[in-house]
Structure 1
Amino acid sequence: MNRLNRALVLLVVLTLLSGCNSNVDNSSGDLFNYKDSYLGDNSAVVNTVIYLKGADYFRGIELQTKEQPYGIIVDYDWSESVIDLQETVINNASYLFTLIQNVDWIMLKFETVDGVEEFKLTREELEGWYEVNLSKIESEEKLKELIQVHLKNSEEVTKLLK
């Protein structure tokens, strides 16, 4: 029951936060203010997620911090989205690994009209794909450029997300 209560409190907080940010244009201009955050800083993690690609479809977040490896599960209602799913996965995972120091894995769940699609990436997998230590990236421009260069190769994107 305790876990359910925590989940409900988190849902209420997220609802309030998303309501406070309803006029935001979802630009990520302030995202690097959260650079070097930790999963224990819930407000930094939530504020990061609500500024990422597809934030209008964001439904909830769960932090896995009881034991290592630490992770984040982000849920989206993607049933009405026209945003590219694979691009969103790579973009959002890249930002989260870059900005949050102690996250080891990220799972993004998308409820689509055809069911639920889940993508789980580890820091090691994504950094190996980029051949870059994401925590060393110090500017949003460099991260955006890295993401765009790698999204051009659709075969490699599909292989990463298999």
Structure 2
Amino acid sequence: MGKTLAAAVLLSAALLIMGACSPSPAGGEPNLFEYEGAEVGDNSAVVNTVIQLPGAENFSGIELEIQEQPYGIIVSYDWAEASLSDKETAAHNATYLFALIDNVDWVQFDFDTGTSVEQYRLTREQLQAWHGVAMAGIDDQKKLEELLSESLGKEQKIEELFAGA
């Protein structure tokens, strides 16, 4: 009995130490830049990116348009019970997708509100003009978050983006 208890305590201590030493991103946030350089045809990278972005709890599906150029992504959300702004979510998530996925030319977001479906389609060119920077030039999450903080939360700026969409 004493040996069993000692083994259990030793095993518990080892698991505790291993858990404490495991690497995790600063602040517990996911490192989305592990998918940097992915392509639209890489379903795993695209889905793993989308499910770590705002609105993920309402994510309902994805379509990858890769048969012919321009390549695109359609992301669908069940937005009936969502508390986030659909336009702000679309601008945020499109920014990440264009920064991380090299060959995506457009992204469409479908927000099913239960009574209608709001669709927002953004191109790489629109988003780059809106941010005033080439998305491919952003190489880390901190820079991308700084860029987003300059644009999001400003309703007029967001409306400008979707006026041309």
TM-score scaled by structure 2?
0.79
Say which SS state the counterpart of residue 82 (structure 2) adopts: coil
Aligned match of 2:119:
118
Which letter does structure 2 place at the counterpart of 1:123?
R
Q: CA RMSD in A?
A: 1.2
Aligned length: 136
Residue in 2 that maps onto 1:156: 157
Q: What is the CA deviation profile of residues 106-130 of structure 1, one whole-angstrom value per residue up to 9, with x for unaligned ones?
A: 0000001441100000000000111
Q: Please state whether the residue corresponding to 2:97 is helix, strand or coil.
A: helix
Contact 1:76 1:110 in 2 (8 A): yes
User: Where does structure 1 lack aligned partners over 5 or more consecutive residues?
Assistant: 1-26
Match for residue 109 of structure 2? 108
CA distance in 2, matches of 1:62, 1:92: 15
Alignment of 1:134-149 (within 5 A): 134-149=135-150
Instruction: State the structure with more CA Rg.
Output: 2
Distance, in Å, in 1 between the alignment partners of 2:29 and 2:99 is 13
TM-score w.r.t. the length of structure 1 is 0.80
Contact 2:40–2:101 at 8 Å: present in 1 too?
yes
Query: What secondary structure is seen at the aligned counterpart in 1 of 2:30?
Result: coil
Seen in structure 2, the aligned counterparts of structure 1 residues 157 and 135 have a Cα distance that, compared at 3 Å, is: same
Residue aligning to 1:72: 73
Counterpart-to-counterpart distance in 2, 1:91 and 1:150: 9
Task: Give secondary structure in 2 for the equivalent of 1:161.
Answer: helix
Alpha-carbon distance change, 39 to 79 in structure 1, aligned in 2, over 3 angstroms: same
Residue 96 of structure 1 corresponds to: 97
Give yes or no for contact 2:88–2:153 (8 Å, CA) kept in 1.
no
Q: Is the CA contact (8 Å cut-off) linking 1:28 and 1:51 kept in structure 2?
A: no
Query: Does the 8 A contact of 2:92 with 2:152 survive in 1?
Result: no
CA deviations over 1:139-158 (Å, ceiling 9, x no partner): 11111111111124321211
Distance 2:126 2:83 in 1: 27
Partner of 1:48: 49
